[in-house]
Amino acid sequence: MSTAVAVTRFPVPEESRRTSFVGMVMALASWTMLFVALFFAYAVLRLRAPAWPPDGLPPLPKALPFLNTLVLLTSSVVLHFGVRPEAEEKPGALRRALLGALALGSLFLALQLAVWVPLWRSGFRIDTGTYGSIFYSLTVFHAVHVLAGLVALAVLLPGAFSGRLVSGRASTVRLSAMFWHFVDAVWVVMFVAVYLV
Amino acid sequence: MGDATTSKPAPIRHLHVGPEFHAEQHIHPEPTSFLRKYVFSMDHKVIAKQFLWYGLFFLAVGGAMAMMLRWQIAYPGTPFPVLGQLIWPQSGGVMPPQSYAAFFTMHGTLMIFFAITPILIGAFGNFLIPLMIGARDMAFPTLNLMSFWTNVVAGLCMIVSFFVPMGAAAGGWQSYPTLSTLVGSPGHGQTLWILGIFFTGSASIMGAVNYITTVVRLRAPGMGYFQMPLSVWGIWLTAILNALFVPVLAAGVLLLFLDRVFGSHFFLAGAAITKGGGDPVLYQHLFWIFGHPEVYILILPAWGIVSDLLSFFSRKPAFGYKATALSMSVITLLSMAVYGHHMFVVGMSPLLSQGFMTLTMLISIPSAVFFLNWLGTMWRGSIRFATPMLFSLGVVFVFGLGGLTGLHLGAISSDIYLHDSYFVIGHFHLTMAASVLLGAFAAIYFWFPKMFGKMMNDTLGKWHFWLTIIPITIVFCGMLVVGYGGMQRRLYNYEAYEFLKHLHPINVWMTRAALLLGASQFLFVGNFLSSLISGKKATENPWEVGTLEWTIPSPPPHHNYDEIPIVLHGPHEFNNPAVAGKDWLAQDEPIDDEPVALGAVGS
């Protein structure tokens, strides 16, 4: 019982960032479970179906979604190099990274439209059995997250241009980047599960 | 060099001040405008009170609905007194079948998501976590504010749903397809139900992320996980389950929403579908993957609170503190892998069913550990029978009954007979409703002085306890009996079945007990309101216990702690022989004859 007590203190900003980091990890864990549940639903329906794609329905396009996967992965890489701590000394690195990720993210959404519109016009709709339900629900739900990610990056722009936000240091930059990488990772799983296999 | 052992220096306990306990937790000035102070407050104590009022409101609504349901069961075709004429004038005050279905659906939904969750998790989670771990507020106060107001939007969706054409959702609180698809429920009530669940789920997740982070990051120096009060343990484990499993429910209701609004085919099957049907049972999987952790989400805070209160009022350290915390953790883990026991009769593979049965039965082991620890805590203690203690003992009693009846439902062979009968209703009301409700009352009576700075009336509280525990036991044990007798759940008029007619007397007695239970809650309302206005002023530590929240004034100042406390002892330090003159020791109180050196290391 008779113990001496020594108090160790860490520098303050680092502590604050760690707290936001823990919160973001928990939030993304929660978000992951949402997508896990959606993929579980897909797996159950697909295992129950006698054939996939069901008889008379076309297979999904692969080339354009593959290109889109590359677009999104590139955006993650671009963003990462702009927000990592080493980029702190390079002026403009954060600005360039944000603009690059925003451009590539928007291109991703445009290419998604280029996938959806012809399929929808050809009569393949959300009510075309479970096949259509899964395809449109999963991809549109993911696109909504891409849009949210774009908004999260866009609101950083004024701060990046005024120099108020510096890469690596301010936690808003790092947390938005984490969300963006998360959305990209979900897409990679979705591309494999929905389009490839 | 005579005695080497005595010259050995005392080991230095390094207290990791991991959290930014001085700097980021600045003392914010108290807001002055009415809106920032009472409505859109970011103070965890104000948000806790908002959740408390919100939950008590829905508890009253859900309780009134239960009275009307019981009335219809015992006296079918007779008008419900007073309220019946207002709600169903077209049928002369008699509850019509559609309303019966809507009411049992909304009774369950409101009680689970809008009464129990806000009171135990919203109010006490918010109030207790920062105070008990020695923090100035939650890790993310803005998120906390958003969590409450998102919940209000959810509550509004549920209330509005009663007034749309064809009324509120009526497919049961689980809202299984096909009852909940456009085929089963064409009205907007079911869609609003989905939106309400989605919003309240989002609010729960926001709260959970906040709670987990606060416990991980903002514990005062010296407050290791095993120095935390068991209340915080319970709420923290609940938050982990909320963060991980509410999203699964969100996914389930999202797909249901798409089926209803955008015409997808996830849960549609049969003749209506031409190109590859969906699967209604898929919804049941998603629902129960969430639903089984959910029952622990509801009960874990009550377990934690009762574990603390039994120790406080027995004036003894909690027996097997670590074992209780660890067995609650093990139950949290096991609860993630047992959901299939809700679906034994849907036609699952028997091998899978047996796996789920085995895992379910395994939960008995940690449950028995902490239950025996409760008894061990009280064993030979100097028990003080104050109102919070009575309610805690009530939890021990009804949870014991509820837990034992769970075994009959976890075993496949008996579940197949009992499934969908009133036995199930009795079981989950004993565990989820009675235990949690009594736990919530224990918490309110215990922390009311800290929340509002006034004492509640103990005599009225004791009357409230006895007039609650007796009827609540009669109602829910009666359900076990009629369920064993073959009475199915959700029957509008069970007397239409010849083989159930002989259950009439017991059903009438259950209804009488339910009405008494409802009436005796007015004792609580009266006590609560009159104590709020003119209760005896509470001292700093009226219950003479050692957890941190009792070391500061009642009610606590806006920033909780002037100095972040340094924790030296566990939460249940009773009758320490080194302490003279009193039988408790605050967690941050040094013992006189042992010098404690505080040194700052690093910057």
pLDDT at A160: 87
**Phi/psi of residue B220, each to 5°?**
-65, 160
In a domain, B565, yes or no: no
pLDDT of residue A3: 44
Q: What share of chain A is helix, strand, coil (3-state, %, to 5)?
A: 75, 5, 20
In a domain, A20, yes or no: no
Q: Which residues contact B212 (CB under 8 A, 6 or more apart)?
A: A22, A26, B236, B239, B240, B243
CA of B439, closest CA in chain A: separation in Å? 28
Interface contact flag, B216 A129, Cβ < 8 Å: no
The Cα–Cα gap between B147 and B200 comes to: 9
Give the whole-angstrom CA distance, residue B189 versus residue B502: 36
- Residue B598 forms part of a structural domain: no
Residue B464 included in any domain: yes
Pull the structure tokens for residue B187. Answer: 């009205």
Question: Which pLDDT does position A167 carry in this prediction?
Answer: 66
For residue A96, the distance in angstroms to the closest alpha carbon of chain B comes to 30
Predicted complex ipTM: 0.92
pLDDT tens, position by position, B142-188: 999 999 999 999 999 999 999 999 999 999 999 999 899 988 899 99
* Residue at A74 is within a domain: yes
Place A182 in a pLDDT band, splitting at 50, 70 and 90.
Answer: very high
Q: What's the structural domain count of chain A?
A: 1
Taking only the tens place, the pLDDT of each residue in B562-577 is 888 999 999 999 998 8
Q: Which residues of chain A have a CB within 8 Å of the CB of B591?
A: 1
Q: How many CB atoms neighbour CB B506 within 10 A? A: 17
* pLDDT at residue A82, rounded to an integer: 87
Show residues of chain A in contact with B208, CB under 8 Å: 26, 30
Residues of chain B found within 8 Å of residue A38, distances taken between Cβ atoms:
251, 254-255
CATH number, domain with residue A34: 1.20.120.80
pLDDT above 90 covers a percentage of chain A that reads 64
Establish if A11 belongs to a structural domain. no
On whether residue A4 sits in a domain, the answer given is no
Instruction: Give burial (CB, 10 Å; 0-12/13-18/19+) of B582.
Output: exposed
Q: Is residue B590 part of a domain?
A: no
At B602 the three-state DSSP class reads strand
Place of tokens 């159950």: A44
Q: Which of B139, B289, B566 sits opposite A19 (nearest CB)?
A: B139
Residue A120 Cα, gap to closest chain B Cα (Å): 14
Per residue, the 3-state secondary structure of A9-75, as one string, reads ECCHHHHHHHHHHHHHHHHHHHHHHHHHHHHHHHHHHHHHCCCCCCCCCCCCCCHHHHHHHHHHHHH
**Which tokens is B215 given?**
């416990």
Which residue range(s) make up the domain with A171? 27-53+62-196
Whether B132 is covered by a domain: the verdict is yes
**Residue B79 belongs to what domain range?**
41-269+284-551
How far is Cα B342 from Cα A85, in angstroms, rounded to an integer? 50
Q: In which order are the strands placed within the sheet that holds B598-602?
A: B12-17, A4-9, B598-602
Rounded-to-integer distance, Cα B473 and Cα B465, Å: 12
User: Distance between CA atoms of A124 and A117, rounded to whole angstroms?
Assistant: 10
User: What is the average pLDDT score of chain B?
Assistant: 92
Confidence of residue B273 (pLDDT cuts 50, 70, 90): low
CB contact under 8 A, B277 and A3: no
Sign for the pseudo-dihedral over CA of B104, B107, B112, B116: negative
Rounded Cα distance, B239 and A85, in Å: 32
Closest Cβ–Cβ partner in B12, B13, B286 for A41: B286
Of B13, B140, B255, the CB nearest to A23: B140
pLDDT digits 0-9 by tens, A64-82: 999 999 999 999 999 998 8
**pLDDT for res B15:** 56
pLDDT band, very low/low/confident/very high, at A169 (cuts 50, 70, 90): low
Q: How near does any CA of chain A get to the CA of B22, in Å?
A: 9
A49–B602 C-beta distance less than 8 A: no
Indicate the pLDDT class of residue B602, thresholds 50, 70 and 90: very low
How far is residue B329 CA from its own chain's centroid?
Answer: 16
* A14 assigned to some structural domain: no
Interval B422-442 mean pLDDT: 97
Of A23, A34, A56, the CB nearest to B250: A34
Which chain B residue has its CA at the smallest distance from A19's CA?
B217
Of B554, B553, B551, give the one whose Cα is nearest residue B566.
Answer: B551
Q: Which residue has the higher pLDDT, B387 or B77?
A: B387
What is the total count of domains within chain B?
Answer: 1
| B124 within 8 A of B57, measured Cβ to Cβ | no
Residues of chain A neighbouring B568 (CB-CB closer than 8 A): 5
Assigned domain for A102 exists: yes
Residue with tokens 């702009």: A82
